[in-house]
Structure 1
Amino acid sequence: MYRSLMKDLTSWKTRPNRKPLILQGARQVGKTWLALELGRTEFSQVAHVVFLDNEPMKAVFEGSLNPTRLLAAIAAETSTRAGDSDVLIVLDEVQECPRALTALKLFCEQRPDTPIIAAGSLLGVALHNGVSFPVGKVEHLDVYPMTFYEYLRATDTTLADLLDASDLTLVDAYSERFTDALRSYYYVGGMPEAVAAYAETGDYAETRKTQNRLLYDYEHDFSKHATPILAERIREVWKSAPSQLARENKKFVYTAVRPGARARNFEEAISWLVDAGLLCRVNRVSKPGLPLDGYRDLNAFKLYFLDVGLLGAASGLDLKTIVSGSALFEEFKGALTEQFVCQQFVATGELVPCYWSAENSTGEVDFLYDYGGRVVPVEVKAETNLKGKSLSSFAKKYGIDRSLRLSLAGFRDQGWVVNVPLYATNLLPGVFEAISAD
């Protein structure tokens, strides 16, 4: 299975000033697979320690964190030469052993030659619970569900090769095939297990079973890692997220979670879901200034799922939509398409999406991001209809000379706006640079 992060992991392995690496992300996005695949392809052995239900190894880390002592225990546990420079140590489910995170500081200082990766979910939650974190002594990589490009690598390498050429006119020639593949991705999503199930069987029903099990496991985590009151509020926010995205105005509304609900009752629940990587919070900005972060309105935001396939599963999206032409792209008033775009943005690791809406009118720009010293407004269209006044009005008001539209229409450069097919989002964030180079 192709994952673009393997390039980052290989680069980490060869750096002379390498620090211990933390892979973090939601459950089942592929953290363990990435670490073990790096070990398989780039190292002679992998010392894989899984802390889940491993009380002996947890006890080891409760004692002295001297690296020599820990390496001896890891070597015995895994029957490897842990400590040698050609043996990758993988500390898995590290959220179950917070002291293992603390130990990374000593590995960095005393044994920088030891390649070590810690992988875990719910790390964002754990770090808010008093865990001593090795600030400045570790490196990070965030792992997200598979992008559409990675999905194509697993299901249709010919289309992936076309995207590699970065030739949008060539991509346009295969628009029907790309659209069919995109429709499939909307349903399957990017969770590696769901993608593998579909790639191996071509059976959407099996894919949905995998998605439903993942949703069940996530809800189980609510009760396992939060107090009963907080767990119930987390569950309420989680359950309300699909219906909130289905609204015309997708801004998160607390009273849609529970009648009479207030922000103070659910802020912690929202933060928990965001920290766990299960939801993505996209804030409103008051104006397209640089940096965008300085213009965020923290009281107005939208919540997107971590994965478009899981959004469809949580919403009960019927399998019939796969074969009903373009209807799938219009489901939930285009929410699936916005979810797809947000997911691709976040997975770049470079783009932090936000949105803009007018104070006293209905004008709205679906997404904005800043990159290369410019603010890029993005309009998302679920199909090929490119009509709409909000983007052009926004661009004129704020003097923005280049905007972006993502739709099912072909590539089109109109000067002030560039239309890029939804299935070519892998060209982001540097789409304008790519066009200029041509």
Structure 2
Amino acid sequence: MKLHRRILDDLRTWKESTDRKPLLLRGARQTGKTWAVTEFGRTSYENVLRIDFMRDPQAKALFDGPLNPHSLIDNLKIYTSQNVAQQDTLIFFDEVQECPKALTALKYFCEEAREYHVIATGSYMGVSKHNNDSFPVGKVNMMTLHPLTFTEFLENTGQEQLSDMIRDGRFDSINAAFEPRLNDLLKTYMFTGGMPSAVVTRLAGGDWEQVREEQRSILDSYDLDFSKHAPARIIERIRLAWGAIPSQLAKEHRKFIYGVVRPGARAREFEESLMWLGDYGITSRIPCVSALKTPLAGYTDASAFKLFTVDVGLLGALADISASTILEGTNAFVEFKGSLAEQYVCQQLVSAGYSPYYWANPNGRAEIDFALEHQGLIYPIEVKSSTNVKAKSLRLAHDHFGTGKAIRFSLERFRQEDWVTNIALWGVDGFKAYLDSTR
């Protein structure tokens, strides 16, 4: 079966843009970059000229000489035995990190041949490193493909209207009769996650063990990539840090502790490994800030951070959490002391384009799960994984720093109070639209 991905709408907007540049689509492995561009090409162009540099390493030689785009197109036509029409052909460089000169060539397509429609896809790791070649800064449009958000998941389960209402931030328009359905679907999503192959497995009728097996396969492919791409001296530490994420999040205070990874470990031993995981695109590093003031980046404490994975389903697989633990009752929201719920919220916020932070006061008696900036205001966010929505830390932070209205994501339904707004956990993907509507 085919999934509906919102990135397809973004790609169509890119095609019609009067200021279109070559496009670089990045994302972690297994998020569906190749499928998305292939499907976009199939539905929006008469022809797709695709070069997969991983499967066809000989094609790299096409870029060994001068990177004149017109000469490159002549050679590409001969190499693939395909014609290239400026408006009707999509030129697709897949796995572009395997051919850095092809990435560099995007600069010259922008400067000298913008009439051609060119998309390159690549993993975070290869694109971010891009050693010994000039990255086409300012010469490409850039997009990032994340795992499916919860509202994308809803769309693919036939709940398009509810998905639209959430995505538009119209929480007060959602009748209470739909909330049990949304909570059940959210639990399903928290087990399945948003990796396309896991979602397809479930929607095609696969049972929970088949979904989990697909997630384990993704984790195995990541582990193979660790061996293939990482410097040999840090491979073991990468595996230790990656495997320790569930135990890090299970702590009462989820600041990353190097001693949890390995007894007696120091930051200097694992910092490069953590940076590698971030460059690979499968972790989100959430820095601690000393004050909820703008800009948040100016108040970060480099030594304190939380680490989340790219996907809530993969976190469950990494921790080997059973389906019954997540799907029965409200366990999905309290497992790991609520860390699955925090992982889910973090994932939705990152997909929405936010760079989240968190705040903890120096005496350790108060902590805010997330904080972010939106249109010049700071919003402190607390994730409550039960129906107990008392929020002493949230109130303390709001009053002390004079932030914008505080936000609480919980199992309670939408409710606005004088200083805090409660949004149901299933509504996180509509948070940005809600903020825009209240300005």
In the superposition, relative to structure 1, how do residues 54 and 12 fare at CA in structure 2: closer, same or farther (>3 Å)? same
Q: Look up the SS of the partner of 1:378 in the other structure.
A: strand
Aligned to 1:392: 395
- Structure 2 residues without counterparts, runs of 5 or longer: none
Aligned to 2:328: 324
**Contact 2:125/2:281, CA 8 A, preserved across alignment:** no
Once the two structures are TM-superposed, the CA of residue 49 in structure 1 deviates from its matched residue by 0.9
Of 238, 245, 261, the match for 2:242: 238
* 1:177 matches 2:178: no
Aligned to 1:107: 109
- Structure 1 residues without counterparts, runs of 5 or longer: none
- Relative to the length of structure 1, the TM-score reads 0.95
Q: In the aligned structure 2, how far is the partner of 1:312 from the partner of 1:386?
A: 25
**Contact 2:379/2:404, CA 8 A, preserved across alignment:** no
Aligned to 1:254: 258
Q: Does 4-13 or 134-143 show the bigger shift?
A: 4-13
Aligned to 1:47: 49
Aligned to 2:291: 287
**Contact 2:27/2:123, CA 8 A, preserved across alignment:** yes
Q: In the aligned structure 2, how far is the partner of 1:299 from the partner of 1:125?
A: 27
Aligned to 2:421: 418
Q: In the aligned structure 2, how far is the partner of 1:165 from the partner of 1:22?
A: 27
**Contact 1:402/1:418, CA 8 A, preserved across alignment:** yes
**Contact 2:357/2:371, CA 8 A, preserved across alignment:** yes
Once the two structures are TM-superposed, the CA of residue 310 in structure 1 deviates from its matched residue by 0.2
Deviations 1:241-271 (A, max 9, x none): 1110111111101111112211111111111
Q: Look up the SS of the partner of 2:262 in the other structure.
A: coil
Q: Look up the SS of the partner of 1:35 in the other structure.
A: helix
Of 374, 378, 398, the match for 1:375: 378
Once the two structures are TM-superposed, the CA of residue 72 in structure 1 deviates from its matched residue by 2.1
Aligned to 1:121: 123
Deviations 1:223-251 (A, max 9, x none): 11112112222111111111101111111
Aligned to 1:97: 99
**Contact 2:292/2:403, CA 8 A, preserved across alignment:** no
**Contact 1:67/1:107, CA 8 A, preserved across alignment:** yes
Q: Look up the SS of the partner of 1:80 in the other structure.
A: coil
In the superposition, relative to structure 1, how do residues 124 and 333 fare at CA in structure 2: closer, same or farther (>3 Å)? farther
In the superposition, relative to structure 1, how do residues 92 and 248 fare at CA in structure 2: closer, same or farther (>3 Å)? same
**Contact 2:348/2:428, CA 8 A, preserved across alignment:** yes
Of 337, 344, 357, the match for 2:341: 337
Once the two structures are TM-superposed, the CA of residue 164 in structure 1 deviates from its matched residue by 5.3
In the superposition, relative to structure 1, how do residues 315 and 33 fare at CA in structure 2: closer, same or farther (>3 Å)? same
Q: In the aligned structure 2, how far is the partner of 1:229 from the partner of 1:104?
A: 33
Work out the number of aligned pairs and report it: 435
Q: In the aligned structure 1, how far is the partner of 2:437 from the partner of 2:224?
A: 44
Once the two structures are TM-superposed, the CA of residue 124 in structure 1 deviates from its matched residue by 5.6
Once the two structures are TM-superposed, the CA of residue 130 in structure 1 deviates from its matched residue by 3.5
**Contact 1:71/1:83, CA 8 A, preserved across alignment:** no
In the superposition, relative to structure 1, how do residues 281 and 128 fare at CA in structure 2: closer, same or farther (>3 Å)? farther
Identity percentage of aligned residues:
44
Aligned to 2:202: 198
Once the two structures are TM-superposed, the CA of residue 15 in structure 1 deviates from its matched residue by 1.5
Quote the RMSD (CA, aligned, Å): 1.7
**Contact 2:292/2:401, CA 8 A, preserved across alignment:** yes
**Contact 2:377/2:403, CA 8 A, preserved across alignment:** no
Aligned to 2:9: 7
In the superposition, relative to structure 1, how do residues 23 and 422 fare at CA in structure 2: closer, same or farther (>3 Å)? same
Deviations 1:147-188 (A, max 9, x none): 000011111325324435643234233110000000000000
**Contact 1:24/1:123, CA 8 A, preserved across alignment:** no
Q: Match for 1:348: what amino acid?
A: A
**Contact 2:107/2:139, CA 8 A, preserved across alignment:** yes
Aligned to 1:216: 220
In the superposition, relative to structure 1, how do residues 408 and 78 fare at CA in structure 2: closer, same or farther (>3 Å)? farther
Q: In the aligned structure 2, how far is the partner of 1:343 from the partner of 1:423?
A: 13
Once the two structures are TM-superposed, the CA of residue 83 in structure 1 deviates from its matched residue by 5.2
**Contact 2:98/2:126, CA 8 A, preserved across alignment:** no
Please give the residue correspondences for 1:426-437 in structure 2 after superposition, counting only pairs within 5 Å. Answer: 426-435=429-438
Please give the residue correspondences for 1:150-189 in structure 2 after superposition, counting only pairs within 5 Å. Answer: 150-158=152-160, 159-163=162-166, 166-171=169-174, 172-189=176-193
Q: In the aligned structure 1, how far is the partner of 2:57 from the partner of 2:173?
A: 56
Q: In the aligned structure 2, how far is the partner of 1:164 from the partner of 1:55?
A: 42
